[in-house]
Copies of this chain bind each other. A is one copy, B any other.
Amino acid sequence: MAWVDATTESLGPEDVRLPAARGRVLAEAIHALGPIPCENRAALDGFAIQASASLGASSYNPIRLPLIGVNAGDALPAGADAVVPLQLAERDDQACIEIVEPVAAGDNVEQQGAVATIGATMAPAGTRLAARHIGLLAVAGLSLVSVVRRPRVQILIVKPTKGAESEDANASMIRVAVERDGGVIGECVAVERDQMAIGTALIETDGTGRGTNDHSAAALAGAGELAIHGVALCPGETAGLGRTVSGLPVVLLPGAPASCLWVYELFAGRAIRRLGGRVAELPCRSRGMTTARKIVSSLGMTEICPVRFGAAGTIEPLPSFAEIGLMAAVSADGFVIVPQGSEGYPQGARLTVYLYDEC
**Selected interface stretch from A3-11, A50-58, A160-168:** A160-168
Query: Given that A163-B41, A257-B136 are known contacts, is A131 also in contact with B212, CB under 8 Å in the complex?
Result: no
Q: How far is the CA of A136 from the CA of B129 in the complex (A)?
A: 31
Is the pair A168, B214 in contact by a Cβ cutoff of 8 Å?
no
Asked if B43 contacts A138 (CB within 8 A), the reply is no
List of B residues within 8 angstroms of A246 by Cβ: none
Q: Which A95-121 residues have a C-beta within 8 angstroms of B?
A: 110, 114-116, 120
Chain A: interface size category: 35 or more
Does A31 make an interface contact (CB < 8 A)? no
Give A residues with C-beta under 8 Å from B: 18-19, 21-22, 36, 39, 41, 43-45, 70-75, 86, 110, 114-116, 120, 122-123, 129-136, 138-139, 141, 160-177, 179-180, 193, 212-214, 238, 254-257, 260-261, 264, 285, 322-327, 329-330, 356, 358-359
In the complex, what residues of B have CB within 8 A of residue A133's CB?
330
In the complex the two chains form, is A174's CB within 8 Å of B131's CB?
Answer: yes
Instruction: List, in ascending order, chain B residues with CB within 8 A of A264's CB.
Output: 131
Interchain CB contact (< 8 A) of A132 among B164, B175, B330: B330
Q: Which of B134, B135, B169, B177 contacts A139 (CB 8 A)?
A: B169
**In the complex, what's the smallest C-beta–C-beta distance from A192 to chain B, in angstroms?**
13
Q: Is the CB of B325 within 8 A of A168?
A: no
| Contact B22 A131, beta carbon cutoff 8 Å | no
Nearest CB of B to A187, in Å: 13
What separation, in Å, do the CA atoms of A74 and B353 have in the docked complex?
Answer: 34
